[in-house]
Structure 1
Amino acid sequence: MDQTLLGGRYQVIRRLGSGGFSRTFLVNDVHLPNHPRCVIKQLKVQDKDTGTLDMARRLFDTEARVLYQLGSHPQIPALMAHFEEDQEFYLAQEYIEGSRLSRHVEEGKPWSETRVVLLLQEVLEILSFVHGQQVIHRDIKPSNLIRRHRDGKLVLIDFGAVKQVTSSPLLDAETGATNITVAIGTHGYMPNEQYAGKPRFSSDVYAVGILGIRALTGMYPQKIDEDPITSELAWRQYAPEVSSPLATVLDKMVRYDFRDRYPTAQEALAALQNLPNPLHGLVGTQIYRTWMKGTRGRGPTFPGDDTNTAMGPTETTEPTAFADDQDSTSLFPVDLDSSHSGVLAASPPVEPKRSMTPGLMSAFSKRHSWLLMLATGAVLGTLGLGLGLWRSGFTIGFQPALLSGNVLPFQRAEVPSPLIDFGLLLPAEEKAVYLSRQGDRLWSQGRYPDALATYNESVAAQSDYAPAYLGRCKTLISLKRPIEAIAACDDALAYSTYYPAALRSKGNAEEQQGKLLAALALYESTNRQMPAMFEAWLDRGRVLQKLGRSAEAIAAIDQAIARNRESAEAWTVRGEATWALNRYDQAIIASEKALQLDPDYAPAQDLRQRARETIGR
């Protein structure tokens, strides 16, 4: 195999992994300039009879369609090719240079709460897109998340176990249940309904919650017992200092009954975004050590780090039923380390934390009050040190409880409690990312002036950070300032040539000014760049309807509905378009569907009333 070109164009460099159903290889694409690297997944078909080959072909066709649909997202590997050769099946995917999250989540080394919240938000943001495409991943776990080196972002891999909800003839529209009869996933990250072969979107939410619990407790999920009465995971005893708001969110994510969980990643993400700012805290307490470089010091968390790390390939998971032994599956037997070609050793971990002993605290309590001023100065002087520690692999956590009791010679109320936002003390590139995420949170809460100010701070920290300009654009649209919004979107596109979200937002700004043809052209460009983006199809259909091109509007809206059937606006626009074509029965059906989704949606109420009056119902 290594002596030939796969598919006539892929030259094998080395094997990356091998499992019961597939093998993965790192290859060069000799048909493209500079022979870029990519990853080839080969399905191993043991039995070449017609039935087995047909099943293998169906599985790979399904995976290829899903990867093509989802690969337009910047944190999901793009599909390069999909081909069959000599009754073998191959997928060629984008190669991601980075390190798997499984290298960072070490047993017995719990993460800080801050770091867990930020991780969960990042994973749920990707998964929200996946669920928006009516896809259930079914195998969320640390080894299927890669921290990409070039920008520090997580990439979700391994879509071999996916299920497209809309492909099921026995789909339950309310729950997202499918007619799958084989349990696929990884033991410890699978909820009970997935074991039964009936995954929902909330099954992925469960897995993300387990990921958070594993990081927070430092324990593999298989080692956490269930409550014998409720069957809920009894994980809180292993993280006694977790805050109540975060614990409540995690509890809901991992409920035994899927009906008690957040139904999709979007709802879970919203709950996390409403938590108190995880980077705020009280000064003068405790530093929690969390080695952010992962196992044996590998894996940069921030862009710009010059730490040499192992390279994790983009591998796709085969359907693996009930994979045991922590979170491993047969697809991931290779653990790249410093002995591997092209990998350099990193610096060793830092020493464990040291805390103030009770004897020292007792001695301190006997000092005169003037020592409080000295102590306060010392605490403030350590902020720079604390930031440096956090930047190099520590997470700073503060425990107000340590200020209570008779350890210190004063009551908490007698001492100011300044809020220190360590995100504002980060180096410029990281500060820009942090502020932009804060702006996103404020924008989602409808706090547009605050969001705009935060995005402006992000731009001030790093003048070429495209997501901050996009945030400005969206916020200015919300503030009805379309001319300024267009300028902000143009800045985003100047710094990121491939940015479908910025194209779409610029179209929103043009539409807000009444420049419908300009908006339509931008929406069409967005559709070409990212066919999976539901919102751009909806925008396109809405503008086409405003232009009186109702037949074209219906075609565009049908594309939107195929990607998200739960949008009351999409159904209403379809109803308006069918109304304009005198298809009143269809208009009523569309309006009633919209009102099922949102009974208070006024445009749908008005449309249904007009249609009924016209046909005399």
Structure 2
Amino acid sequence: MSNIILERYRIIELLSGTPGGRSYLSEDTSQSNFHQYVVKQFLPSSKDSTLLKISHDVLETETKPLEYLAKKDDRILHLSNFFIKDKNFYLVREYILGQSLRKEIITGQKLSSEKVLEILLEVLEILVIIHYRGIIHRNIKPANIIRRESDNKLILTDFGAPQEAVSNLVASSEYMPIEQIYRNPQLNSDIYALGIIAIEALTGLSASEITNRKNQKNSDAQKIVWYPRSHKVKAKLAKIIDKMVDLNYQNRYQSAKEVLNDLQTINQPQPNLVLQPLKTQFSKNPKLFLFLGSFITVSAVGWFFFASKDLNYARKLYYQGIANYEKADYKQAVKLFSQAIKINPQYSSAYNFRGDAYYRLGNYEKSQQDSSAAIRNNPQDANAYYDRAFSLYLVGEFNGAIIDYNQAIKLNPEYADAYYGRGLARHEIKENRKAIADLNQAIAIKPKFTKAYFQRGIVHREIGDKLEAIKDFSKAIEINPKYASAYYERGKTRYALNEKAAAKKDFTKVIELDSRFVDAYIARADVHTDLGYPKQAYDDYEKAIEMNPEDAKAYVHRGKYRFQMKDIEGAIENYNQAIKLNSTQSTAYNNRGNAYLELGKWNKALADYSKAIELNPEYASAYYNRGLLRTDLAKVPGAIEDYQAAADIFLKRGEKNNYQDAMSRIKELTP
């Protein structure tokens, strides 16, 4: 078979074959060292070109996150390549020199509890990594867990999702829990499969024998009966495995971290194990009892110091920290990660997670420091650069954030979140075209990246491309129909395009999804005002203020409403309240200036316009309004200066009509 070539792969031998496909050992002829790969051939149930194209697209989507994880941890083996030839699919992965667990777990032979515990701990460590990214393996079985010959590590291969994308073949049924059979896999479906492997190893029974036992005693039972006592299994281990293979996934362990935490307590070091060598010495030399007394008196934590040197204990603390992080108990998570780092100062992952916890607590400086420590300990960790970039972004160090995002992308060119983050940072420094390019790339890598569509819509609107903005917000809504913020921003954009009925519909949808969305009430009230529904407008403004009496913006908008209703004094009262709550509200000063102008209080109006411009030098309307007032006051040079400033800002924003209006004002004043 060595003369058969599939694309650039020369077939060396057939490894396995089934009615649905075959696996070949091959070598890559495009590489000078002829590196070896496993090429898996799948025979699709349909040869229809359209269906093949759909399968190809699904496969491409499924492999992207796996590719990222494989670069992050070499215990995760992803697809190196895939292609279609003669309407058959071929998936290519690196060939690992070693043996699968099928060579260690043999029907009729039993492994010790200690050996099975080692296997469980090692595989669960990998599952923690993939589950943290929301990926389900779906194909856990002994044949897909390989013990690598070079370092004796267990390697996880042949994820189920890519295979399901191109074939009806899924994981072997004896390892599949019921929810996965019904196409509803959960993260803990992988835990079930691993539990079945553990029972195989402990009992010597085959997987099919084990799963058939679930109906022997009671057809309605939620447990697999495998009689652990008759197989001399440690009671604590048996109890944990029972929970791993609960037939109801809601009763099963909910995360790999939970299983790890429980397994690590089985052989938890005891104090006497640390002090035993000392006891032997004391029996030989009674004078050492004096030292023992001093030892206990001076340092009550002496034992803890010695025990904590065990890196397994550091790992246990780390996973406990993750468990607390998942429960949003970030302070406790920080304490646990800190203890793990104290034991193992090179614990890159602990620095990473502690940095995330500090971020959640709002301590961006410490978050940044921990990301830097993670980078020092593992310079190839793209995620650490991403985390530090995010911390820098939050403290306003946008250029520094871009540098770190660049490095994250260099290490992982398919890092969609890094492109997204760099897009946000570039938007902040007004590099909007580059920001859009980054967001485009994020979407190309992750086509259902709702936040990227949402943010691209914001940028499109800022550069005056409102129709493109609406398309982006609509796409975000299509992917996530409950995305309240996307409806809100689309409503704002439609309002700017004078599509008021459509804007009102969007704001109403926001309120349906989130009845506490204050800004949606304010925006809908503005629409009601413009459409001539004063009662509805008033009710919405009142609701917004009732929900948040400290929201200056609500008073600004109600002031504008009262101004339109000719209640000028009432409008000024609202603007005064807004300024009292937030003295940096430039809109309140500008609008109060309009109200003072209506009352003929020109000096107060002029002072308010100037204050608005001082607070926001990019406030085009305030320049324009001050220009109008200076025109009336015959202060022509100042008026021309104001109109020009307004025109420049309008032009930069793409507001052509406003720009032309301001320029026509200048022309009228220019001899």
Using structure 2 for the length normalisation, give the TM-score.
0.53
Q: Within the alignment, does 1:140 sit opposite 2:126 as a pair? A: no
Paired position in structure 2 for 1:455 = 341
Q: Within the alignment, does 1:124 sit opposite 2:120 as a pair? A: no
Give the residue type in structure 1 aligned to 2:386: R
Cα 1:208–1:590 shift into 2, 3 Å: farther
1:47-126 alignment, distance < 5 Å? 51=47, 62-63=58-59, 65-74=61-70, 75-106=75-106, 107-112=109-114, 114-115=117-118, 118-119=121-122, 121-126=124-129
Give the residue type in structure 2 aligned to 1:435: A
Paired position in structure 2 for 1:294 = none
Which structure has greater helix proportion?
2
Give the residue type in structure 2 aligned to 1:82: F
DSSP-derived class of the 1:451 partner: helix
Cα 1:374–1:98 shift into 2, 3 Å: closer
**Uncovered stretches (5+) of structure 1, i.e. residues with no partner:** 168-179, 286-372, 382-417
Identity of aligned residues (%): 22
Give the residue type in structure 2 aligned to 1:43: F
Pick the aligned partner of 2:268 from 263, 280, 283: 280
DSSP-derived class of the 1:275 partner: helix
Quick check: 2:15–2:23 contact (8 Å CA) kept in 1? yes
Cα 1:482–1:60 shift into 2, 3 Å: closer
DSSP-derived class of the 1:71 partner: helix
DSSP-derived class of the 2:208 partner: helix
Quick check: 1:436–1:471 contact (8 Å CA) kept in 2? no
DSSP-derived class of the 1:83 partner: strand
- Aligned-partner Cα distance in 1 for 2:79–2:123: 26
Give the residue type in structure 1 aligned to 2:317: Q
Cα 1:120–1:590 shift into 2, 3 Å: farther
Cα 1:11–1:51 shift into 2, 3 Å: closer
Following superposition, the deviation at residue 258 of structure 1 comes to 4.2
Give the residue type in structure 2 aligned to 1:280: Q
Cα 1:521–1:120 shift into 2, 3 Å: same
Deviation digits for residues 399-443 of structure 1 (CA, Å, limit 9, x no counterpart): xxxxxxxxxxxxxxxxxxx989998566xxxx3x86356335325
Give the residue type in structure 2 aligned to 1:222: S
Following superposition, the deviation at residue 506 of structure 1 comes to 1.3
Quick check: 2:507–2:521 contact (8 Å CA) kept in 1? no
Quick check: 1:138–1:203 contact (8 Å CA) kept in 2? yes
DSSP-derived class of the 1:147 partner: strand
Quick check: 2:348–2:374 contact (8 Å CA) kept in 1? yes
Paired position in structure 2 for 1:233 = 224
Quick check: 2:97–2:148 contact (8 Å CA) kept in 1? yes
- Aligned-partner Cα distance in 2 for 1:61–1:420: 54
- Aligned-partner Cα distance in 1 for 2:484–2:80: 37
Following superposition, the deviation at residue 562 of structure 1 comes to 8.8
- Aligned-partner Cα distance in 2 for 1:157–1:539: 31
Give the residue type in structure 2 aligned to 1:441: Q
- Aligned-partner Cα distance in 2 for 1:443–1:126: 11
- Aligned-partner Cα distance in 1 for 2:511–2:226: 46
Deviation digits for residues 231-264 of structure 1 (CA, Å, limit 9, x no counterpart): 32123544676556x66654444333445445xx
- Aligned-partner Cα distance in 1 for 2:131–2:364: 28
**Uncovered stretches (5+) of structure 2, i.e. residues with no partner:** 285-301, 325-329, 453-475, 496-502, 528-536, 541-671
Following superposition, the deviation at residue 71 of structure 1 comes to 2.1
Pick the aligned partner of 1:507 from 372, 389, 392: 389
- Aligned-partner Cα distance in 1 for 2:174–2:306: 34
Give the residue type in structure 2 aligned to 1:138: R
Give the residue type in structure 2 aligned to 1:192: I
Following superposition, the deviation at residue 37 of structure 1 comes to 2.9
Following superposition, the deviation at residue 73 of structure 1 comes to 0.8
Give the residue type in structure 2 aligned to 1:17: S
Quick check: 2:176–2:193 contact (8 Å CA) kept in 1? yes
Larger radius of gyration between Structure 1 and Structure 2:
2
- Aligned-partner Cα distance in 2 for 1:14–1:148: 20
Quick check: 2:269–2:307 contact (8 Å CA) kept in 1? no
Pick the aligned partner of 1:207 from 193, 197, 213: 193
Following superposition, the deviation at residue 128 of structure 1 comes to 0.8
Pick the aligned partner of 2:321 from 433, 442, 460: 442
DSSP-derived class of the 1:73 partner: helix
- Aligned-partner Cα distance in 2 for 1:588–1:218: 62
Give the residue type in structure 2 aligned to 1:124: L
Question: Which is further off, 192-201 or 531-540?
Answer: 531-540
Quick check: 2:261–2:316 contact (8 Å CA) kept in 1? no
Cα 1:434–1:579 shift into 2, 3 Å: farther
Quick check: 1:120–1:212 contact (8 Å CA) kept in 2? no
Deviation digits for residues 192-228 of structure 1 (CA, Å, limit 9, x no counterpart): 3444566555544432332344445554333332232
Quick check: 1:516–1:547 contact (8 Å CA) kept in 2? yes
User: Whose relative contact order is higher, 1 or 2, with alpha carbons under 8 Å and at least 6 apart?
Assistant: 1
Quick check: 1:438–1:454 contact (8 Å CA) kept in 2? yes
Cα 1:506–1:57 shift into 2, 3 Å: same
Following superposition, the deviation at residue 163 of structure 1 comes to 7.7
Question: Which is further off, 251-260 or 550-559?
Answer: 550-559
Give the residue type in structure 1 aligned to 2:23: T
DSSP-derived class of the 1:80 partner: strand
Pick the aligned partner of 1:518 from 385, 389, 400: 400
Paired position in structure 1 for 2:615 = none
Deviation digits for residues 439-465 of structure 1 (CA, Å, limit 9, x no counterpart): 353254233134124224323xxx5x6
Cα 1:483–1:63 shift into 2, 3 Å: same
Paired position in structure 2 for 1:18 = 17
DSSP-derived class of the 1:228 partner: coil
- Aligned-partner Cα distance in 1 for 2:386–2:427: 17
Following superposition, the deviation at residue 157 of structure 1 comes to 1.6
Following superposition, the deviation at residue 534 of structure 1 comes to 7.5
Following superposition, the deviation at residue 501 of structure 1 comes to 1.4
- Aligned-partner Cα distance in 1 for 2:113–2:519: 52
Cα 1:123–1:470 shift into 2, 3 Å: closer
- Aligned-partner Cα distance in 2 for 1:183–1:38: 21
Give the residue type in structure 1 aligned to 2:245: V
Question: Which is further off, 498-507 or 82-91?
Answer: 82-91
Cα 1:261–1:484 shift into 2, 3 Å: closer
Quick check: 1:138–1:204 contact (8 Å CA) kept in 2? yes
Following superposition, the deviation at residue 190 of structure 1 comes to 1.9
Cα 1:221–1:91 shift into 2, 3 Å: closer
- Aligned-partner Cα distance in 2 for 1:95–1:29: 11
Quick check: 1:144–1:158 contact (8 Å CA) kept in 2? yes
- Aligned-partner Cα distance in 1 for 2:234–2:449: 41
Following superposition, the deviation at residue 547 of structure 1 comes to 7.0
Give the residue type in structure 1 aligned to 2:390: N
Cα 1:514–1:379 shift into 2, 3 Å: farther
Deviation digits for residues 237-294 of structure 1 (CA, Å, limit 9, x no counterpart): 44676556x66654444333445445xxxx3224325537424144789xxxxxxxxx
DSSP-derived class of the 1:256 partner: coil
Cα 1:437–1:191 shift into 2, 3 Å: same
DSSP-derived class of the 2:125 partner: helix
Using structure 1 for the length normalisation, give the TM-score.
0.57
Give the residue type in structure 1 aligned to 2:121: L
Give the residue type in structure 2 aligned to 1:439: Y
Quick check: 1:105–1:142 contact (8 Å CA) kept in 2? yes
Pick the aligned partner of 1:185 from 165, 171, 187: 171
Cα 1:488–1:259 shift into 2, 3 Å: closer
- Aligned-partner Cα distance in 1 for 2:283–2:402: 55
- For these two proteins, the number of residue pairs brought into alignment is 452
- Aligned-partner Cα distance in 2 for 1:218–1:607: 63
Give the residue type in structure 2 aligned to 1:99: Q
